[in-house]
């Protein structure tokens, strides 16, 4: 897609430290890493978000994610890793070509990727259980 920085990485118009490539996916190092070895995995075809990519291509990119994550963990001696995937601006997506962040983690590395710490009210959980199920 014109103007997409990740499409340009796929077509080698701009350089990146590519660490994996197969027929449908590539993986390369994040230029502004959250941790050493922070890697991005993307489908070669341009789709904006998780809601746009066809199921078959998502399956293929998932296989690449698993393979690349194992290599990133080994190379960085990580004790864990986060798989992060932002969709749309409100969720922090800056590059609008779907991508999966693999962020190696070590105990006490100080990285903050925090979720809620307050337990939800039972009525609130029941409400969202009903509402979301309606759309499945």
- Asked if 93 touches ligand 5GP (CB under 6 A), the answer is yes
Minimum separation from the CB atom of position 70 to ligand 5GP (A): 20
- What Å distances lie between residue 108 and 38, 80, 84, 100, CA to CA? 17, 12, 19, 23
**Which one, 30 or 109, has the nearer CB to Zn ion?**
30
Report the site for ligand 5GP in 104-133 (rule: CB under 6 A): none
d(CA 4, CA 118): 39
- Of 32, 114, 117, 129, the residue at the interface with ligand 5GP (CB under 6 A) is 32
Q: Which is nearer to ligand 5GP, 31 or 125 (CB)?
A: 31
Among 17, 15, 28, residue whose Cα is nearest residue 99: 28
């Amino acid at each position: 897609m014109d103007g997409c920085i990740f499409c340009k990485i796929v077509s080698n118009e701009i350089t990146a430290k590519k660490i994996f490539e197969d027929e449908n996916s590539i993986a390369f190092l994040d230029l502004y890493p959250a941790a050493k070895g922070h890697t991005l995995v993307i489908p070669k075809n341009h789709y904006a978000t998780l809601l746009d990519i066809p199921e078959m291509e998502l399956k293929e990119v998932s296989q690449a994610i698993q393979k690349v994550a194992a290599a990133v963990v080994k190379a960085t001696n990580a004790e864990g890793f986060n798989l992060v995937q932002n969709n749309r601006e409100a969720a922090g997506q800056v590059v609008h070509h779907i991508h999966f962040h693999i962020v190696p983690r070590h105990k006490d590395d100080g990285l903050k990727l925090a979720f809620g710490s307050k337990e939800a009210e039972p009525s609130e959980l029941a409400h969202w259980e009903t509402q979301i199920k309606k759309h499945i």
